[in-house]
């Protein structure tokens, strides 16, 4: 058995999330303080009550000191971790297991990234010393590889596919326009999206997630203690993670229309949560829409759409904010940008609001199960996280 | 006795129209932004060694060495996948070095060795000057060996060295300078004639019986009187290729010789005269073996395979003459010496691995098979000469490059194996799934004084 899971054993009892955007006037420590304070308040706890911390950041700082120094946490365990773009989710997963183990009563998972100080557009990631043969492809380029492959395999003409991808961006921007914490809060017309300057392959600027700063935090405890802290806790049904062997980089069998890592982690999560028909049972999802083709392929990898059919579901509005299975109701990476360490927890923050009925104009009627999906790497070589949460 | 066993050539894809710089008719060959003398030499060397041929010695000749200190010949050797036991030497400082390297290689062949000579140049001149307009970029390679293997045997040679200020450049300067051309023409001209006569006499060949005459000089005026002085019919003088590619420095005499060998018949006698700071004269006789020996790509095929709409500012940018605003991306990182050394077979020779248990190909080489999990059960496999096809691709407008967009293809190799390759010498608008590609050795970028060499793919030429 791949993983036994911790269904209904751990609860989220408080969350915080900063507005995402270009915080020229704030450092990572400011963002951490804001997210943590909002989370403490939301769970009605004093900082002294929290026993241990998991801090996710890809490159905005090093070690647990980044958090303990900013928050002046006195002599408690702080783990700093990194798992590429799934870093924020990874902080949550490890914190949840620590609680489930009984080692701690109350813990915090917190993620932060400060991308706007680099001076570059897009992600600027430092490599370990290398031999000079590593790919120079930027992130949008690696994900744009999905588009021609999908178009060819499922016989979707490129101009139709361009409309499908634009429809995904249009939807996520529409959702983001209703979210006070999003970086971009304006609807964008299909025309503007389709005619934007090119970035990579079929992708224009609006097919790419923004670049922003932000932080988000969650406070977790064992399920039986949840009501000590809040009347409306949410419960973890599944936490799944898969790191691939990079098969797609080597094997000609991989065809760039799927993420095997996502398929595996989704299957694992559904098994843990007892979900057998994700298309019907998952009320809503926050997925890793780093680039529009990613979201398209994810719909199939997670079983929301049959193979080769997601493009039709997208055009039919199935995943719209008011559709039968809303995807990225908060606006997604498209509207929030993608401060690496924070994004996974920002996704969970939307689940927290939606399941508690606090999502305001974006509120989904009567959600039962929410899914978050976080992906790091590139098609053929990635890590994938899937969680399922509910009441 | 010794002779030429094999040969190969390489002319880059791009041409600059002389009209675009107000310099008359014709075009010059231009090394792409990702090429230098070492990579040009490698491409020519691959052509000469195709099919596998062992050599004892490598001689690399260029006046545009990528490194002033550090053996560029070692780069060529590694990229050609020659064993480290091959002795490598480098000749420089004069465009005659290409012909001199052949002469020297023939001496070593005479002594029983098989020698690979690679000669190449990226000829850069000051904007508006003659070198810029009349120069060209190319590589050529010869395998020299015993008479028994020769397609063209050396029958006579002579050389002369002359201390003269004709064309020169100090290390601190980028562009060569030259004295009034008539000075060398009148001073060196007679020496060229004398030396050539000496070589023909050593060969026992009458000038009238020559089938082809290759004349190349840093100062073409020094050669002007030679045909008449020796009684050579003008029709025997081979096309110097200057209208189609320009004079390609150290490579040029060899390149014209290669174009002659492409059409030579057994029994043909070929005179090669190369002038700069003196002269080298070589006389060859083509053997029957030229009919059966593996044929390299003809020089004319390289000449015809081109893109000749290169804009002058782009040319200046590629040569580093014209400053330009870099993309707003981090500068490329210098590769690390220990990692390059550990991965040398991969980086330089494009050697991957294949699982001995399940035959899955791996680029870069892996210790654990991605398909069956076998550990340390791989054999090395060189993919440099394996053709591949585009499985999917993208144009990256954001990545750092001197020629955006960066074109990247997921390439699937014949016989199994996959690699995400940067494409070069490609029209971004023309790429499509299923295109056939071949590998080419390139200089990806230079960072902190380190040239980063690796392989790219290009449409078949």
Tokens of A8: 């209904």
Query: Rounded to 5 degrees, what angle do the CA atoms B79, B80, B85 make?
Result: 100
**Per-residue pLDDT at B33 exceeds 60:** yes
CB B396 to CB A149 under 8 A?
no
pLDDT in tens, A332-362: 999 999 999 999 999 999 999 999 999 999 9
For residues A253-281, give the mean pLDDT: 97
Q: Which two tokens stand for residue A6?
A: 């911790």
Query: pLDDT digit string (tens) for B137-187?
Result: 999 999 999 999 999 999 999 999 999 999 999 999 999 999 999 999 999
- Choosing from A17, A85, A290, A382, the catalytic residue is A85
pLDDT confidence bin for B51, thresholds 50/70/90: confident
Tokens encoding A253: 């069998």
Which residues 6+ apart lie within 8 Å of A167 measured at CB? A190, A314, A315
Q: Which helix (H) or strand (E) holds A348?
A: helix A340-355
Chain A residues inside the 8 Å CB shell of B329: 120-122, 124, 138
- How far apart CA A160 and CA B276 sit, in angstroms, is 63
B332-385 residue pLDDT tens: 889 999 999 999 999 999 999 999 999 999 999 999 999 999 999 999 999 999
Confidence label for B17 from pLDDT (cuts 50, 70 and 90): very high
Confidence class for position A126, pLDDT limits 50, 70, 90:
confident
Residue A127: burial class (beta carbons within 10 Å; 0-12, 13-18, 19+): exposed
Chain B nearest CA to A132, separation (Å):
5
Spatial distance between the Cα atoms of B416 and B454, rounded to a whole number of angstroms? 21
Q: Is the pLDDT score of A2 beyond 90?
A: no
Q: How far is it, in rounded angstroms, from Cα A356 to Cα A12?
A: 11
Cα-atom radius of gyration of chain B, to the nearest Å? 22
Does residue A1 register a pLDDT over 70?
Answer: no
The answer to whether residues B271 and B282 touch, using CB atoms and an 8 Å cutoff, is yes
Indicate whether A363 pLDDT > 60: yes
Return the structure tokens found at B398: 């954001």
Q: Say yes or no for a CB contact (<8 Å) between B433 and A148.
A: yes
SS3 B409: strand
At A20 the pLDDT is 98
Chain B residues whose beta carbon lies within 8 Å of the beta carbon of residue A129 = 335-336, 338-339
**Identified catalytic residue from A221, A338, A373, A382:** A338
Cβ-nearest to B418 among A124, A130, A250: A250
Residue A119: per-residue pLDDT: 84
Flag if B454 and A144 touch (Cβ within 8 Å): no
Residue-level pLDDT at A193? 98
- Check B396 against A152: CB less than 8 A apart: no
At A124 the pLDDT is 73
Residue B1 clears pLDDT 70, i.e. is over it: yes
Q: B396, exposed or middle or buried, with CB in 10 Å at 0-12, 13-18, 19+?
A: buried
Tokens of B14: 């791009």
Lowest pLDDT segment from A125-129, A155-159, B14-18, B297-301? A125-129
CB A107 within 8 A of CB A258: no
Buried/exposed B266-280: b ≥16 CB within 10 Å, e otherwise: eebbbbbbbbbbbbb
User: Where does the pLDDT of residue A218 fall: very low under 50, low under 70, confident under 90, or very high at 90 and above?
Assistant: very high
- Which of A28, A12, A256 has its CA nearest to residue A153? A256
Q: Rounded distance, CA B161 to CA B165, Å?
A: 13
Alpha-carbon distance of B376 to B379, in angstroms, equals 9
Residue A121 is predicted with a pLDDT of: 73
For residue A17, indicate whether it is catalytic. Answer: no
Q: Give the pLDDT of residue A127.
A: 85
Chain B residue closest to A197 (CA)?
B397
Using a CB-CB cut-off of 8 Å, the residues of chain A touching B389 are none
Q: CA quadruple B61, B63, B66, B70: dihedral positive or negative?
A: positive
Q: Give me the mean pLDDT over the A105-111 stretch.
A: 98
Name all contacts of B365-372 with Cβ < 8 Å and 24+ positions apart.
B366/A250, B370/A245, B370/A246, B370/A247, B370/A250, B370/A251, B371/A247, B371/A250, B371/A251
Q: What is the mean pLDDT of chain B?
A: 96
Q: Which residue has the tokens 């290669």?
A: B258
Radius of gyration, CA atoms only, chain A: 19
d(CA A214, CA A125): 17
| CB-CB contact of A134 with B444 (8 Å) | no
Q: In angstroms, rounded to a whole number, what is the distance separating the alpha carbons of residues A91 and B5?
A: 65
Output the six-digit token pair for A147.
Answer: 């588009």
Q: List, for residues A294-337, the tens digit of each pLDDT value.
A: 999 999 999 999 999 999 999 999 999 999 999 999 999 999 99
Q: What is the pLDDT of residue B232?
A: 96
Provide, as residue numbers in chain B, all residues whose Cβ is less than 8 Å from the Cβ of A197.
397
User: Could you report the per-residue pLDDT of A268-280, keeping only the tens digit for each?
Assistant: 999 999 999 999 9
pLDDT given for residue B403 in this prediction? 87
Work out the average pLDDT over B446-453.
96
* CA atoms B37, B41, B44, B47: torsion sign: negative
Taking 90 as the threshold, does the pLDDT of residue B275 lie above it?
yes
Taking residue A180's Cβ as centre, other Cβ atoms within 10 Å add up to 8
Tell whether the model's pLDDT for residue A182 goes beyond 70.
Answer: yes
| Mean pLDDT (chain A, rounded) | 96
In angstroms, the CA A180 to CA A251 distance is 44
CA distances from A141 to A135, A246, B132, B258 (A): 11, 17, 37, 42
Question: Which ipTM did the prediction report?
Answer: 0.92
Please report, in angstroms and rounded to a whole number, the separation of the first and last CA atoms in chain A.
Answer: 26
CB nearest B339 (choices: A120, A130, A141):
A130
**Is A338 annotated as catalytic?**
yes
Chain A residues within 8 Å of chain B (Cβ atoms): 118-122, 124, 126-127, 129-133, 135-138, 140-142, 144-146, 148-149, 152, 197-201, 245-247, 249-252, 254-256, 380
pLDDT at B52: 85
SS3 A156: coil
The whole-number pLDDT of residue A39 equals 98
Mean pLDDT of B248-266: 98
Read off φ and ψ for residue B174, nearest 5 degrees.
-85, -35
8 Å CB contact of A200 and B343:
no
């Amino acid at each position: 058995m791949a993983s036994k899971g911790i269904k209904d054993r751990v609860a989220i009892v408080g969350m915080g999330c900063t507005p995402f955007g270009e915080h020229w006037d704030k450092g990572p420590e400011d963002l951490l303080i804001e997210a943590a304070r909002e989370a403490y308040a939301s769970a009605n706890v004093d900082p002294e009550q929290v026993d241990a911390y998991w801090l996710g950041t890809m490159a905005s700082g090093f070690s647990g000191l980044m958090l303990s120094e900013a928050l002046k946490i006195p002599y408690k365990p702080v783990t700093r971790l990194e798992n590429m773009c799934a870093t924020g989710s990874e902080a949550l997963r490890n914190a949840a297991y620590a609680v489930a183990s009984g080692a701690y009563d109350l813990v915090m998972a917190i993620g932060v990234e400060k991308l706007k100080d680099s001076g570059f557009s897009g992600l600027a990631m430092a490599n370990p010393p290398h031999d000079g043969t590593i790919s120079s492809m930027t992130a949008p380029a690696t994900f744009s590889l999905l588009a021609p492959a999908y178009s060819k395999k499922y016989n979707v003409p490129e101009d139709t596919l361009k409309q499908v991808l634009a429809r995904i961006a249009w939807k996520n921007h529409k959702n983001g326009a209703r979210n006070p914490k999003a970086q971009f809060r304006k609807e964008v017309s299909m025309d503007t999206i389709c005619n934007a300057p090119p970035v990579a392959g079929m992708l224009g600027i609006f097919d790419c997630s923004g670049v922003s700063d932000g932080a988000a935090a969650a406070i977790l405890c064992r399920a039986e203690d949840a009501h000590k802290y809040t009347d409306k806790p949410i419960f973890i049904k599944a936490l799944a993670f898969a790191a691939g062997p990079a098969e797609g980089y080597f094997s000609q069998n991989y065809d760039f229309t799927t993420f095997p890592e996502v398929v595996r982690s989704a299957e694992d999560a559904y098994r843990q949560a007892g979900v057998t028909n994700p298309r019907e049972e998952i009320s809503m999802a926050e997925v890793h829409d780093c680039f529009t083709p990613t979201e398209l392929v994810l719909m199939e990898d997670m079983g929301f759409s049959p193979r080769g059919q997601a493009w039709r579901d997208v055009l039919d509005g199935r995943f719209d904010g008011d559709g039968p299975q809303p995807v990225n109701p908060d606006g997604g990476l498209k509207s929030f940008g993608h401060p690496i360490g924070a994004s996974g927890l920002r996704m969970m923050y939307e689940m927290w609001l939606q399941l508690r009925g606090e999502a305001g104009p974006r509120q989904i009627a009567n959600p039962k199960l929410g899914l978050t999906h976080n992906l790091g790497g590139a098609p053929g070589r990635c890590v994938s996280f899937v969680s399922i949460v509910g009441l | 006795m010794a002779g030429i066993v094999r040969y190969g050539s390489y002319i880059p894809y791009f041409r600059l129209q002389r009209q675009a710089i107000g310099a008359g008719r014709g075009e010059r060959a231009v090394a792409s932004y990702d090429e230098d003398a070492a990579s040009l030499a490698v491409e020519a060397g691959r052509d000469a060694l195709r099919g596998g041929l062992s050599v004892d010695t490598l001689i690399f000749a260029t006046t545009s060495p990528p490194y002033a200190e550090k053996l560029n010949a070692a780069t060529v050797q590694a990229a050609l996948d020659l064993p480290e036991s091959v002795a490598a030497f480098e000749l420089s400082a004069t465009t005659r070095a290409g012909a001199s390297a052949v002469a020297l290689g023939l001496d070593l062949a005479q002594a029983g060795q098989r020698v690979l000579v690679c000669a190449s140049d990226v000829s850069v001149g000051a904007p508006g000057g003659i070198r810029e307009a009349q120069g060209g970029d190319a590589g050529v390679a010869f395998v020299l060996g015993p008479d028994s293997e020769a397609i063209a045997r050396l029958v006579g040679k002579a050389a002369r060295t002359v201390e003269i200020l004709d064309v020169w450049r100090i290390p601190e300067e980028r562009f060569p300078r030259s004295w009034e051309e008539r000075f060398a023409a009148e001073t060196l001209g007679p020496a060229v004639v004398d030396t050539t006569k000496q070589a023909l006499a050593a060969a026992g060949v009458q000038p009238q019986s020559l089938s082809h005459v290759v004349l190349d000089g840093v100062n073409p005026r020094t050669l002007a009187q030679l045909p008449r002085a020796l009684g050579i019919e003008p029709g025997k003088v081979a096309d110097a290729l200057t209208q189609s590619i320009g004079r390609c420095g150290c490579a040029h005499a060899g390149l014209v010789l290669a174009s002659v060998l492409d059409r030579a018949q057994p029994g043909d006698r070929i005179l090669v005269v190369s002038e700069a700071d003196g002269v080298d004269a070589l006389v060859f006789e083509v053997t029957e073996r030229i009919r059966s020996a593996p044929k390299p790509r003809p020089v004319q095929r390289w000449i015809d395979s081109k893109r000749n709409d290169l804009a002058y500012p782009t040319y200046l940018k590629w040569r580093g003459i014209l400053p330009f605003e870099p993309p707003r991306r981090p500068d490329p990182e210098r590769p690390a010496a220990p990692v390059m050394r550990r991965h040398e077979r991969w980086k330089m020779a494009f050697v991957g691995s294949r699982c001995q248990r399940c035959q899955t190909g791996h680029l870069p080489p892996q210790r654990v098979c991605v398909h069956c999990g076998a550990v340390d059960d791989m054999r090395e496999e060189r993919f440099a000469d394996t053709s591949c096809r585009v499985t999917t691709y993208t144009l990256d407008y954001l990545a750092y490059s001197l020629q955006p967009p960066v074109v990247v293809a997921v390439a699937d190799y014949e016989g199994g194996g996959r690699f995400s390759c940067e494409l070069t010498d490609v029209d971004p608008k023309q790429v499509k799934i299923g295109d056939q590609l071949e590998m080419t050795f390139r200089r990806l970028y230079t960072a902190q004084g380190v040239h980063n060499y690796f392989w790219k793919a290009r449409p078949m030429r």
